[in-house]
Amino acid sequence: MKLCALSFAILLVFAGTAAASAQEFHVFGGWLQNTGDHDQTYTYQFEYRQRFHDNFAFSLTYLNEGAFTEHSRDGHGAQLWAGANLLDRRLSLAFGVGPYFYYDTIPYSSSGFSLNDHGWGALLSLDATWYTRSRWLFLLRTNWVATGNSIDTISASFGIGYRFDEPATPKPGGEPALPREPAPRNELTLYIAQTSVHNKGPAHSIGAGLEYRRRLLRYLDVTAGCVYEGESDLIERYGLNVQLWLAGSFLDDRLSLGFGAGPYFAIDRHRTEEGRDHKVALLKNVSMSGAYRFSPHWGVRFNWIRVITNYERDADVWMLGTSYFF
């Protein structure tokens, strides 16, 4: 449970300290190299960054490190950034560092299945960001991932970003803008899902889910829900999960993005142990989510759950649902 405990601590600290300054979302794609044998592959990355000072920021990221012959690795990270603004604040140069929790699928020939290897590493980054006069921005990024028990990698990528927050603009004549009606604090979502297990064999299945979400603080949500991951040759798994989320609302509270983590109490009927055909397992979830509210009470939500197991059945659960806000 170390992953969940550390994630909860990070979410709580930054939910209480995040300032309503520049909030950005970045998408990267590029090239990556194993520093050991110099094998090369692709890389892509999704990142949310929030400034809490003119020269300092915090980010949450998903990094996919491509597919080598012996490794297929991705992971989640959190970084603190320090930088400098140049050329009338159009150019920003920054250095980021933080923990990286990785998921590595590697061959495991003795059983015919793959091994889901998990571990901690360090994510160090350098980037240059060019701010246009609109909300769009462009980035050049290099990442270095260092681990103690897995491969080390270095990458170079190009990114496109979007700024959600701009300085508040008063009404003509100096009148302040009228306050907006508070967004609903509760959300109920019914999902349809597709599950992909990180192992060999027919690994895809269709599932479903139901989730209740409650806004606790401006940047902090909590969810409780049930998930059915479907049935394939590798799993028939379902259970209850609880997650704590670092989440932000944008575009007049119509759009929300979040990063969550928490425990998952699951039953897998394909798992056998001590003569029983199934058992309850305490697993872990790390998730990314986005919702768009197109009316006062209705919207859509996309949820991507990474299920972390201890028996080589890690999975991605891709969920799309209809949400009711109240």
pLDDT digits (tens, 9 = 90+) for 203-256: 899 999 999 999 999 889 999 999 999 999 999 999 999 999 999 899 889 999
Q: How far is CA 86 from CA 104, 137, 179, in A?
A: 39, 15, 34
Give dist(CA 225, CA 188) in Å, integer. Answer: 10
With residues binned 3-state (H G I as helix, E B as strand, rest as coil), the percentages for the chain, rounded to 5, are 5, 65, 25
Report how far Cα 156 is from the mean position of its chain's Cα atoms.
21
pLDDT in tens, 167-177: 444 444 445 55
pLDDT tens sequence for the chain (326 residues): 455 455 545 545 554 444 446 789 999 999 999 998 899 999 999 999 998 888 999 999 999 999 998 899 999 999 999 999 999 999 999 999 999 999 999 987 676 789 999 999 999 999 999 999 999 999 999 999 999 899 999 999 999 999 987 644 444 444 555 556 778 999 999 999 999 999 988 889 999 999 999 999 988 999 999 999 999 999 999 999 999 999 989 988 999 999 999 999 999 998 865 455 567 889 999 999 999 999 999 999 999 999 999 999 999 999 999 999 99
| Cα–Cα dist 266/256, whole Å | 28
SS3 104: strand
Burial 64-101 (b: 16+ CB within 10 A, else e): bbbebeebbbbbbbbbebebeeeeeeeebebebebbbb
